[in-house]
Chain A
């Protein structure tokens, strides 16, 4: 762990990508090979299963630190990170031992399913031996929330520097279902495992801020709806049928209604598309909330399958008859996609996401304005000649979203954030007017500058009316413009509504609480929403 801790300290101690890449590359040259594999796994979100839950960790840590539980919780509120809180509270180690990252993680994996006493003994032994940073990292492995501020691109660049393998090739080889507990570092780099079901790195679009005029002649571009579902990659190869989410999660089993596609797609087909809950009667997607009901479940009940059947609207074709065609122009890939889909029997839950015709940018702007009625969030613009690139490269793919809906609301409760936002009040509950009362209707966390959060934090500290654990009730005075993408009736919420992607657009210092919107104006949007 010592070497891993040094890597962590180096990454944590700089905000410069050059320095981070160099530190990682050095690590990938020098660390023991099994440790390198685990590091790649952790940095790409492949975490070992949690052997211990956080309630147990809190209890054990408070016990070792010799403090009451309430004082542990007070400390946690200030630190904002469980792993760090524990690392800070424990007495310094009596002896130090160095165990490799591989050893530490395998030890944790072996603990799953053991009785509580055995798990506790193992964790306490590790705590008693590890110095501060190692202890923090060990706790991070335990709690599973591992973030080291290393973007995927940075990781592949460092690995490429350390191994001499080209970046794009590596990015592809790191995708998919390899098992860090079994694979060797050379096998991982050579792409020996997980071949059949391995997805390609996703191409990502950038936000179009100022409209499409600067993009040049409209005929160079293809447009389609920007759907609000789950971006996915469907793999149909001779040895594998798999559906991957953009977060590289294998979600095949969550969508049994897509299984028939395995029998009909030509072998060696890989499709990029959007998984949606489909309203067959209206011939358009259900709102995201319908899909969300299915995401959290391992097995989907029949009623839900019938109520919200899944369907893929395909954007792109990445592999055609077993050939990687990502270098071909988009126009060609779309043409092949259309041909393949046309050859499928009717009734399958897969169709092309329709291309939107537009002679002029103005015409496209008019089409875009109708997106909500189509169940879409806006339109996508892709250069017809563009390859299927890796990650987010500005220039060829743009998302041109509708302006969000907005509502002016007043802050009612504030809660401190976590991690970088520990100690700062950043998580707010907002209310709108309902007759003579103000009803809470949404929470939002993002959209303000650091300076604004600082100022609001000071205000919250001086104006707290009541505390409920970490939550503070404040006077209904500060007004914010809240933006959101969609609205749903929701019996689970007191206000009867639920918003999609709520965030703060602006702090309306110019407005008072007498100028906020009403719950009725929000309910009116329910009928406008699809």
Chain B
């Protein structure tokens, strides 16, 4: 049997025909990067290749790197492999990476979300022979409400807090979730941002993503100057001195993990909103079916039960072991920060 299109090594996913890695976690000469989150775009690679839309964030995070951009849908040859990047719907610029060697195509999903969110380039199924899928939320308990309904819940909460004279603070990842929230809520009033969120927002704004105006929280931005405002901050800022400055406040965490009451309660936060940048159970199943792949490798999430499930559905399913041995549980969140 010929060498497989992709192999799984202790540095990450590797393509022997093209001599490159995809989202490696240790330094390698050439890395193809699905998106700018720090567990996918790591420091120390000889050369980076990512979508034109993903590069600014990656550069912002990693500083001086040797990097090249590629357009969605464009095919390039690297050694004996053809590669192309396709929208994954996870965050702005995120991609699935298709690798074709000798007529056989494999697709690495990276992180993905099937529901359009109005900001990230919408997910497109990519036909392939083998599909390497994340499964962060790969259990049937995860079923997302449509985004407009979640935004309405958040809006109701914000308005009730404003009526009670309180500032509302949403904890959300600085890149991706934060901008998705402001895109969905910005028409309803001024949105304050934590510095970490503002930096990412400005980077995306400079690229031309349509984001509403935001106000960076500085010492002279307070509950007095901006009564009843909504602020977006990284989860680590919840309950901190930073949020106390805007007090009195109500805080909520926005994450797919908030679907589970025990996890919500453990954060000792009253409120959680269930909004994720990953596919839910149905989304994963639909996406996998749409690729037409007969072989599926799962990674990054509830890998063991999800593989078992795919097996029972007639797929030839396997698990990609990742750096931490049992990624399924490293992802199932014991405590802050909840990795998505």
Assuming A74-B139, A75-B139, A88-B143, is B271 touching A422 (CB within 8 A)? no
A450 contacts B308, C-beta separation under 8 Å: no
A461 contacts B330, C-beta separation under 8 Å: yes
Assuming A15-B268, A75-B140, A422-B260, is B325 touching A462 (CB within 8 A)? yes
Contact segment of A65-73, A107-115, A119-127, A249-257: A65-73
Q: Which of B219-274 contact A (CB under 8 A)?
A: 259-263, 265-266, 268, 270-271
Assuming A78-B332, A461-B326, is B305 touching A88 (CB within 8 A)? no
**Chain A residues whose CB sits within 8 angstroms of the CB of B309 once the complex forms:** 71
Which A residue sits closest to B334, measured CB to CB? A457
- In the complex, what distance in Å separates the CA atom of A63 from the CA atom of B261? 23
- In the complex, what distance in Å separates the CA atom of A364 from the CA atom of B181? 64
A420 contacts B265, C-beta separation under 8 Å: yes
B286-326 to A contact mask, C-beta < 8 Å, 1/0 = 00000000000000001001001100100000000000111
Is A29's CB within 8 Å of the partner chain B? Answer: no
Q: Tell me which of A67, A78, A89, A451 contacts B260 (CB under 8 A).
A: A78
**Chain B residues whose CB sits within 8 angstroms of the CB of A65 once the complex forms:** 140
- In the complex, what distance in Å separates the CA atom of A424 from the CA atom of B309? 24
- In the complex, what distance in Å separates the CA atom of A74 from the CA atom of B328? 12
A75 contacts B271, C-beta separation under 8 Å: no
**Chain A residues whose CB sits within 8 angstroms of the CB of B139 once the complex forms:** 71, 74-75, 78
**Chain A residues whose CB sits within 8 angstroms of the CB of B333 once the complex forms:** 423
**Chain B residues whose CB sits within 8 angstroms of the CB of A145 once the complex forms:** none
A79 contacts B270, C-beta separation under 8 Å: no
Q: Which of A411-446 contact B (CB under 8 A)?
A: 418-424
B302 contacts A420, C-beta separation under 8 Å: no
A15 contacts B270, C-beta separation under 8 Å: yes
Assuming A74-B305, A81-B261, A461-B330, is B141 touching A88 (CB within 8 A)? yes
Distance between B42 CB and nearest chain A CB, rounded to angstroms: 20
Is B206's CB within 8 Å of the partner chain A? Answer: no
**Chain B residues whose CB sits within 8 angstroms of the CB of A89 once the complex forms:** 140-141
Distance between A414 CB and nearest chain B CB, rounded to angstroms: 12
- In the complex, what distance in Å separates the CA atom of A68 from the CA atom of B291? 24
- In the complex, what distance in Å separates the CA atom of A80 from the CA atom of B302? 15
Interface of chain A, main secondary structure? helix
Is A13's CB within 8 Å of the partner chain B? Answer: yes
Distance between A49 CB and nearest chain B CB, rounded to angstroms: 25
B270 contacts A88, C-beta separation under 8 Å: no
**Chain A residues whose CB sits within 8 angstroms of the CB of B268 once the complex forms:** 15
Q: Tell me which of B259, B326, B334 contacts A423 (CB under 8 A).
A: B334
Assuming A422-B262, A423-B262, is B140 touching A454 (CB within 8 A)? no
Assuming A89-B140, A421-B266, A423-B262, is B308 touching A78 (CB within 8 A)? no
Is B335's CB within 8 Å of the partner chain A? Answer: yes
A74 contacts B326, C-beta separation under 8 Å: no
Is A283's CB within 8 Å of the partner chain B? Answer: no
- In the complex, what distance in Å separates the CA atom of A484 from the CA atom of B260? 34
- In the complex, what distance in Å separates the CA atom of A226 from the CA atom of B298? 58
Distance between B161 CB and nearest chain A CB, rounded to angstroms: 12
Is B329's CB within 8 Å of the partner chain A? Answer: yes
A79 contacts B141, C-beta separation under 8 Å: yes
- In the complex, what distance in Å separates the CA atom of A447 from the CA atom of B312? 42
**Chain A residues whose CB sits within 8 angstroms of the CB of B326 once the complex forms:** 461-462, 464
Number of A-B contacts (CB under 8 A): 89
Is A458's CB within 8 Å of the partner chain B? Answer: yes
Distance between B160 CB and nearest chain A CB, rounded to angstroms: 11
- In the complex, what distance in Å separates the CA atom of A453 from the CA atom of B334? 9
- In the complex, what distance in Å separates the CA atom of A75 from the CA atom of B260? 11
**Chain B residues whose CB sits within 8 angstroms of the CB of A462 once the complex forms:** 324-326, 330
B332 contacts A423, C-beta separation under 8 Å: yes
A421 contacts B262, C-beta separation under 8 Å: yes
**Chain B residues whose CB sits within 8 angstroms of the CB of A424 once the complex forms:** 266, 334-335
- In the complex, what distance in Å separates the CA atom of A54 from the CA atom of B325? 34
Which A residue sits closest to B326, measured CB to CB? A461
**Chain B residues whose CB sits within 8 angstroms of the CB of A53 once the complex forms:** none
Q: Tell me which of B142, B143, B262, B325 contacts A420 (CB under 8 A).
A: B262
**Chain B residues whose CB sits within 8 angstroms of the CB of A464 once the complex forms:** 326
- In the complex, what distance in Å separates the CA atom of A453 from the CA atom of B335? 10
Q: Which of B111-140 contact A (CB under 8 A)?
A: 139-140
Q: Which of A41-69 contact B (CB under 8 A)?
A: 65, 67-68
Distance between B86 CB and nearest chain A CB, rounded to angstroms: 30
Distance between B218 CB and nearest chain A CB, rounded to angstroms: 30
**Chain B residues whose CB sits within 8 angstroms of the CB of A88 once the complex forms:** 141-143, 259-260
**Chain A residues whose CB sits within 8 angstroms of the CB of B305 once the complex forms:** 70-71, 74
Which B residue sits closest to A136, measured CB to CB? B261
Q: Tell me which of B262, B302, B324, B335 contacts A79 (CB under 8 A).
A: B262
Which A residue sits closest to B327, measured CB to CB? A461
**Chain A residues whose CB sits within 8 angstroms of the CB of B259 once the complex forms:** 88
Assuming A70-B308, A423-B262, is B140 touching A458 (CB within 8 A)? no
Could you say which of A81, A421, A423 has the most chain B C-beta atoms within 10 Å of its C-beta?
A: A423
Which B residue sits closest to A74, measured CB to CB? B305
Q: Tell me which of A81, A84, A418, A458 contacts B330 (CB under 8 A).
A: A458
Distance between B115 CB and nearest chain A CB, rounded to angstroms: 15
- In the complex, what distance in Å separates the CA atom of A421 from the CA atom of B263? 8
**Chain A residues whose CB sits within 8 angstroms of the CB of B143 once the complex forms:** 88, 92
- In the complex, what distance in Å separates the CA atom of A462 from the CA atom of B261? 25
- In the complex, what distance in Å separates the CA atom of A419 from the CA atom of B324? 26
Distance between B240 CB and nearest chain A CB, rounded to angstroms: 16
Distance between B46 CB and nearest chain A CB, rounded to angstroms: 29
- In the complex, what distance in Å separates the CA atom of A13 from the CA atom of B271? 6
- In the complex, what distance in Å separates the CA atom of A451 from the CA atom of B335? 9
Q: Tell me which of B141, B302, B329 contacts A461 (CB under 8 A).
A: B329
Is A233's CB within 8 Å of the partner chain B? Answer: no
Is A85's CB within 8 Å of the partner chain B? Answer: yes
B312 contacts A68, C-beta separation under 8 Å: yes
A–B complex contacts, Cβ < 8 Å, 19 sampled? A12-B265, A13-B270, A65-B140, A68-B312, A71-B305, A71-B308, A71-B309, A74-B302, A75-B140, A78-B332, A81-B261, A84-B260, A88-B141, A88-B259, A423-B332, A451-B335, A454-B335, A461-B326, A461-B329
Instruction: Name B residues whose Cβ lies closer than 8 Å to a Cβ of A.
Output: 139-143, 259-263, 265-266, 268, 270-271, 302, 305, 308-309, 312, 324-326, 329-330, 332-335
Closest 4 CB pairs of A and B: A422-B262, A88-B141, A454-B335, A461-B329
Q: Other CB < 8 Å A-B pairs besides A88-B260, A462-B325, 15 of them?
A: A12-B261, A12-B270, A65-B140, A71-B305, A71-B309, A75-B141, A78-B139, A78-B302, A80-B260, A88-B259, A422-B260, A423-B332, A423-B333, A461-B324, A464-B326
